[in-house]
Amino acid sequence: MSKQSKQTAISPCRADDYPEWYQQVIKASDLAERSSVRGCMVIKPWGYGLWENIMRVMDSLFKTTGVKNAYFPLFIPLSFLEKEAEHVEGFAKECAVVSHHRLEKGPEGNLVPAGPLTEPLIVRPTSETIIGDSFAKWITSYRDLPLLINQWANVVRWEMRTRIFLRTSEFLWQEGHTAHATREEAEERTRLMLDIYAQTAEEYLAMPVIKGHKTPSERFPGAVDTLSVEAMMQDYKALQSGTSHFLGQNFAKASQITYQTAAESEEYVWTTSWGSSTRLIGGVIMTHGDDNGIILPPKIAPSQVVLLPIIRKPKERDAVMHYTESLAQELKSINYHGHAIQVEIDNRDIGGARGWDWIKKGIPLRVEIGPRDIDAESVYIGRRDKDPKDRQSISRNQFVRELTTVLDDIQISLFERALALRKAHTQHIDDKRQFIDFFTPRNQEKPEIHGGFAYSHWCGAETCEAQIKNDLKVTIRCIPIEADQEKGTCIYCNQPSTQRVVYAKAY
RNA sequence: CGGGGCGUGGCGCAGCCUGGCAGCGCGCCUGCUUUGGGAGCAGGAAGUCGGAGGUUCAAAUCCUCUCGCCCCGACCA
């Protein structure tokens, strides 16, 4: 019985050791696990179901703006990457390289690579260059523009240190690539896709974000401008949750993507690229999770409801299961934001551990069904956004009737809770001393959760930015789009500034 | 790549200093008893102690080499 005295399902709790809490939550939730392959993860069915729903949401939003899906090769000739100078610089250090195409028995019976390739291939870290190669062939006339393409794929970036969902050597993502006749149109597309990321984050993941421009030092290698959406996690650190790049004509020139205008001149196209990844799942975990595990926003949860039949005596089994199955059927016919409610039935005979399993998995609603409920035509429900012990009995009819309303209510409560946290840990700071204090933990040995978002002025100099990063591990997350122009002086050097930027520690 | 730590049934660990039958908790399987909330009792399965070599009558333990992982830095969606 000692376990029953435990206060929370996840140990350590967030306040005690946030990074360890994150690992434990993932383990307890059955979302994913480390693979035997260095730096890689296995996404388990519950986690993949979550990703499928996120994909479904974004895919349909992309398509409403005219984007079509396609697929390009995993391998990119080394020479392609070399075409854009800054691009090479940015990605070269983290590329996996394929150098051979065959294995042979070695002297000790082990397999050794043989058949060296004449030109090594890299495993795509991103696909601008290989897609650019196709774009160059597909685009000849102004009538071919705009070209709006997206691909759902895996990419590989050989990171030094990895964390499940946040930074793994291989991850799943979508990358959109578009080509346009004019600069304005490409810039507009860059903004449009950023808005879709913000919409996905806020309306579906219940994760409030700030839209903004990256500073030159944080820009995508080869981009003219990088936009991002930034969310605050519960340790007050920022998570970049989607990026949209205006690439100017850099990649058009590198890949010779040209078109003929109506006036018969030959011009380079203007391109954009934009991506978001399984990292979003890490964002969901760290935005909504509590000390009992993850909490999934109903709109993207693989299942919204789990039914837990309570069978005390064998003779009750049939009646309880029948009631449970008929309720499941009824629920599955309910439309929730364009899709059927997904229902799980868990009749494992493992006592109370069953309920906790689903709490840790973050399912929005748990419904207990026992003989008493059947007699009363009722159900006993627990909401994941409330305390595990906070459950109530309501009539079956009312439950069915109000189900989508309750789910929407959970969705909204999660968003508002996250927004409140962000507000509580966001400050306008104009004093350098105060700025340093804000980002300095009181306990240097074992830093407590501290900091947040600081809206402060920046002179625009890379040296100030670098100094702050060096001194405090704080970076400029973005130059917010939706903010007033306001004159001030740089938080670090006192030089004039035209706008506040968002400073934070980041993932 | 620099600094630190760790590799022992599925998971978490003890045992190592001082060599002597491979253990504990959880999980898993079976049976009985329980059942509105993380059950109890009994029985059971599951380990070449990361790998290779060495010292020894005897190695999880000592020595050498090696591989992998985790944490802190630098790098990054």
Q: Could you report the predicted ipTM of this complex, rounded to two decimals?
A: 0.82
Look at residue A152 and give its three-state secondary structure: strand
Tokens of A147: 């070209």
**Longest Cα separation, chain A:** 84
User: What's the alpha-carbon Rg for chain A, to the nearest Å?
Assistant: 26
Q: Who among residues 354-383 of A has its Cβ near strand B, under 7 Å?
A: 355-356, 368-373, 380
Residues paired with residue A327 on neighbouring β-strands, in sequence order: none
Three-class SS of residue A200?
Answer: helix
CB of A9 nearer than 7 A to strand B: yes
Distance A51 CA to B25 C1' (A): 35
The encoded tokens of residue A418 equal 């996250």
The CATH number, out of the four listed (3.60.70.12, 1.10.3720.10, 3.40.50.1980, 3.40.50.800), of the domain defined by the range A305-409: 3.40.50.800
| The token pair that represents A152 in the structure block | 């759902």
DSSP class of residue A156? E
Distance CA A244, CA A13 (A): 35
CATH code: domain A426-504 is 3.30.110.30
Kindly report the three-state secondary structure assignment for every residue of A170-181.
Answer: EEEEEEEEEEEC
Nucleotide nearest to A164 (CA to C1'): B77
Q: What HEC string does A407-460 produce?
A: HHHHHHHHHHHHHHHHHHCEEECCCHHHHHHHCCCCCCCCCCCCCCEEEEECCC
Provide the residue-wise pLDDT of chain A in tens; the chain has 507 residues: 233 334 688 878 888 888 888 888 888 898 988 887 778 888 999 999 999 999 999 999 999 999 999 999 999 998 898 888 888 888 888 888 888 888 777 766 667 788 888 888 999 999 999 999 999 999 999 999 999 999 999 999 888 778 889 988 889 999 999 999 999 999 999 999 999 999 999 999 999 999 999 999 999 989 999 999 999 999 999 999 999 999 999 999 999 999 999 999 999 999 999 999 999 999 999 999 999 999 999 999 999 999 999 988 888 888 999 999 999 999 999 999 999 999 999 988 888 889 999 999 999 999 999 999 999 999 999 999 999 989 999 999 999 999 999 999 999 999 999 999 999 999 999 999 999 999 988 877 777 888 999 999 999 999 999 999 988 889 999 999 988 889 999 999 999 999 999 999 998
Q: Which two tokens stand for residue A278?
A: 């399984």
Q: Where are the domains of chain A?
A: 18-288, 305-409, 426-504
Measured CA to C1', what is the nucleotide nearest A23?
B70
A400 in Cβ contact with A330 (< 8 Å): yes
What is the CA A262 to chain-centroid distance, rounded? Answer: 41
The fold for domain A18-288 equals: BirA Bifunctional Protein; domain 2 (3.30.930)
